Amino acid sequence: GAGVSQSPRYKVAKRGQDVALRCDPISGHVSLFWYQQALGQGPEFLTYFQNEAQLDKSGLPSDRFFAERPEGSVSTLKIQRTQQEDSAVYLCASSLDLMTEGVQETQYFGPGTRLLVL
Amino acid sequence: DAKTTQPNSMESNEEEPVHLPCNHSTISGTDYIHWYRQLPSQGPEYVIHGLTSNVNNRMASLAIAEDRKSSTLILHRATLRDAAVYYCILRGGTSYGKLTFGQGTILTVHP
């Protein structure tokens, strides 16, 4: 079946531009996560949705970062006024339903969007 | 969140077993031990998880020490496709579902 997809796969932005990164989770998956991965580092948590509700945004590095999932399916991560330090791979992951399996639930990751800010 | 410690890198030859260690001395009683791996230019993928007993699946085996302060991911016959970064992650308590990745272990497999 189809996995998690992300678009675009690569994005080059000039400093100060706004960018929007899209995530299509696995159909029927209730939980959705965004992670940021800097070069040579492990992914770091940004934010979490349960359906359309954003339950945790504690990992968003600044108020320039905004995520939404208005219909509980597709999610968009928006970065306003991009800075060079925003250059990273942005990963999206989905899982069936944390409320039933909790910390045993497997997360399925997309291939990521590689963002380069010049 | 409880922390894990892994070697930065390991090497193996193709078709030989690989034992990837992970130390988690501050693990709590409700923490599950999860392993994910990340192949080059891909997102992480789930490998295996366990709580107290050893676990086996089609990808790997997980051996958990009796005191749960360490665990070992075992790849029984490494292939070139197993070359990846392997992450040992504890999940439990207030962390609900988010994954806290460390640096992981870079596994190199030689033909």
Convert the pLDDT of each residue in B34-88 to its tens digit: 999 999 999 999 999 999 999 999 999 999 999 999 999 999 999 999 999 999 9
* A109 contacts chain B (CB < 8 A): yes
Distances (CA, A) of B66 to A44, B24, B73: 30, 13, 15
- Closest Cα in chain A, distance from residue B98 (Å): 7
CB-nearest to A45 from B44, B49, B100 is: B100
Mean pLDDT value of segment A11-19: 98
**Judging by DSSP bridges, how do beta strands A108-109 and B9-13 pair with one another?**
unpaired
B43 and A45 within 8 Å at the Cβ level: the answer is no
Residue B83 amino acid letter:
A
Q: Name, in order, each residue with C-beta under 8 angstroms of B39's C-beta and a sequence gap of 6 or more.
A: B45, B81, B83, B84
Residue B58 amino acid letter:
R
A56 and B91 within 8 Å at the Cβ level: the answer is no
Percent of chain A with pLDDT over 70: 94
State yes or no: pLDDT of A84 exceeds 90. yes
A108 and B46 within 8 Å at the Cβ level: the answer is yes
Average pLDDT, chain B: 93
Mean pLDDT value of segment A68-94: 97
